[in-house]
Homo-oligomer: A and B are copies of this chain.
């Protein structure tokens, strides 16, 4: 299962709910305002870094660039994908759970 999170971890509870309800080992894609969870040095970094140990966490590159986030700020273990990579994630997992 691929879980998509499109909200800022500071504004909403979507990331918390996703981390609580995504099965260990499943894939998580941070996109739109959800990409703010992918970087180091914030109050959301610890929980995301911890999640990146038990899950495959991805972040959408075009959404990072739009928001001025650089790849060298990424939390260890989080991989950057573009829209083609997003498509691959959907194809390679057997379903998508959107945390809207």
Contacts and interface: CB of A to CB of B under 8 A. Distances in A.
Interface in A17-65: none
A76 to B, nearest CB: 27
A13 interface: yes
A48 B27 CA distance: 36
Contacts of A12: 11-13
Contacts of A13: 10-12
A26 B79 CA distance: 46
Interface string A61-86: 00000000000000000000000000
Contacts of A11: 12-13
A10 to B, nearest CB: 6
